[in-house]
Structure 1
Amino acid sequence: MSAVQERSISPARGWIGVAAITASLFVFLTTELMPVGLLTPLSEDLDISVGTAGLMVTAQGVAAGLGVPFIVAWSRRVNRRYLLSVLLAVLAAGNLITSVSPNYPLILGTRLCMGFASGVFWAIGVSMAMRIVPERHASRAAAVVMSGISIATVVGIPLGTIVEDHTNWRTTFGIWAALSLAVFLWVASAIPSLPSDNAVSVREVFSLPVKNGQLRTVLFIVVFFVLGHFGAYTFVRPYLEDTANASSTFITVVLIIFGIGGAIGNFVAGYTVNRSLRGTFVVGLVGLIAALLLLRGVGDAKTGAVIALVLWGLSFGAVQLSQVNMTLAAAPETFEAAMSLNTMAYNTCIALGALFGGLFVDHAGVNSVIWFGVVLAGASLLLRLGTGWKKETPAQASSEDEQLARTV
Structure 2
Amino acid sequence: MTAAAAPGNPAPTPESGRCPDPSAPPAPGTGSGPVWKGWAAVCAVALGIFCLITSELLPVGLLTSVGADLGVSDGTAGLMVTVPGLVAGFCAPLVTVGAGRRDRRLVLCVLIALMAAANLAAALAQDFALVLAARLLVGVSVGGFWAIAGGLAARLVPAHHVARATALVFGGVPTASVLGVPAGTLLGELGGWRTAFAAVGALGLATLAALLLLLPPLPPSRPIAFPELPALLRENSGVRAGVVVTFLVVTGQFAAYTFVRPILQDVSGIDARYVSTLLLGYGVAGVAGNFLAGARDAHRTLLTVSACLTVILASIAVLPGAVAGTTLLLAWGLVYGGVSVSLQSWMIKAAPAAAEAASSLMVAMFNLAIAAGALLGGLAVDGIAAQAAPLGGAALMLLAAGTVWVTSVRRRDSGPKGQFGHQA
- Superposed pair shares fold, TM > 0.5: yes
Correspondence for 1:48 among 54, 72, 78? 72
Q: Distance in 2 between matches of 1:330 and 1:391?
A: 14
Correspondence for 2:325 among 305, 311, 314? 305
Q: Distance in 2 between matches of 1:182 and 1:2?
A: 31
The answer to whether residue 414 in structure 2 is matched with residue 390 in structure 1 is no
* Preserved contact between residue 25 and residue 148 of structure 1 (Cα < 8 Å): yes
* Preserved contact between residue 75 and residue 379 of structure 2 (Cα < 8 Å): yes
Query: Greater CA deviation, 74-83 or 99-108?
Result: 74-83
* Preserved contact between residue 170 and residue 290 of structure 2 (Cα < 8 Å): no
Written as runs of structure 1 = structure 2, the 5 A alignment for 1:4-403 is 9-134=33-158, 137=161, 140-271=164-295, 273-274=296-297, 277-298=298-319, 300-387=320-407, 388-390=409-411
* Preserved contact between residue 167 and residue 341 of structure 2 (Cα < 8 Å): no
Once the two structures are TM-superposed, the CA of residue 78 in structure 1 deviates from its matched residue by 2.2
- What code does the residue aligned with 1:381 have? A
Q: Distance in 2 between matches of 1:319 and 1:85?
A: 26
- What code does the residue aligned with 1:304 have? A
Once the two structures are TM-superposed, the CA of residue 242 in structure 1 deviates from its matched residue by 2.2
* Preserved contact between residue 259 and residue 377 of structure 2 (Cα < 8 Å): yes
Aligned to 1:405: none
Identity %: 34
Q: Distance in 2 between matches of 1:366 and 1:76?
A: 45
- What code does the residue aligned with 1:293 have? A
Query: Greater CA deviation, 303-312 or 380-389?
Result: 380-389
The secondary structure found in structure 2 opposite 1:193 is coil
* Preserved contact between residue 59 and residue 81 of structure 2 (Cα < 8 Å): yes
CA RMSD of aligned residues (A): 2.4
Once the two structures are TM-superposed, the CA of residue 38 in structure 1 deviates from its matched residue by 1.1
Q: Distance in 1 between matches of 2:245 and 2:31?
A: 37
Q: Distance in 1 between matches of 2:287 and 2:164?
A: 19
Q: Distance in 2 between matches of 1:11 and 1:381?
A: 38
The structure with the greater share of residues assigned to helix is 1
Compared CA separation, residues 396 and 12, structure 1 to 2 (3 A): farther
Query: Greater CA deviation, 40-49 or 72-81?
Result: 72-81
Aligned to 1:402: none
The C-alpha deviation readout for 1:158-192, integer Å capped at 9, x for no partner, is 22222222222110111111110011111112223
Once the two structures are TM-superposed, the CA of residue 2 in structure 1 deviates from its matched residue by 8.0
* Preserved contact between residue 49 and residue 170 of structure 2 (Cα < 8 Å): no
Q: Normalised by the size of structure 1, how large is the TM-score?
A: 0.88
* Preserved contact between residue 150 and residue 321 of structure 1 (Cα < 8 Å): no
Give the number of equivalent residue pairs.
Answer: 391
Q: Distance in 1 between matches of 2:43 and 2:82?
A: 29
Query: What runs of 5+ residues in structure 1 fail to find an aligned partner?
Result: 399-408
- What code does the residue aligned with 2:346 have? M
Compared CA separation, residues 211 and 25, structure 1 to 2 (3 A): same
- What code does the residue aligned with 1:163 have? L
The secondary structure found in structure 1 opposite 2:217 is coil
* Preserved contact between residue 59 and residue 112 of structure 1 (Cα < 8 Å): yes
Aligned to 1:403: none
Q: Distance in 2 between matches of 1:391 and 1:93?
A: 48
Once the two structures are TM-superposed, the CA of residue 315 in structure 1 deviates from its matched residue by 1.5
The secondary structure found in structure 1 opposite 2:65 is helix
Compared CA separation, residues 375 and 3, structure 1 to 2 (3 A): closer
* Preserved contact between residue 170 and residue 340 of structure 2 (Cα < 8 Å): no
Once the two structures are TM-superposed, the CA of residue 139 in structure 1 deviates from its matched residue by 5.4
Once the two structures are TM-superposed, the CA of residue 249 in structure 1 deviates from its matched residue by 2.4
- What code does the residue aligned with 1:364 have? I
Compared CA separation, residues 8 and 370, structure 1 to 2 (3 A): closer
Compared CA separation, residues 45 and 65, structure 1 to 2 (3 A): same
Aligned to 2:20: none
Aligned to 1:404: none
Q: Normalised by the size of structure 2, how large is the TM-score?
A: 0.85
- What code does the residue aligned with 1:174 have? A
Query: Greater CA deviation, 334-343 or 235-244?
Result: 235-244
* Preserved contact between residue 40 and residue 238 of structure 1 (Cα < 8 Å): no
Query: Greater CA deviation, 235-244 or 349-358?
Result: 235-244
Q: Distance in 2 between matches of 1:245 and 1:73?
A: 48
- What code does the residue aligned with 1:282 have? L
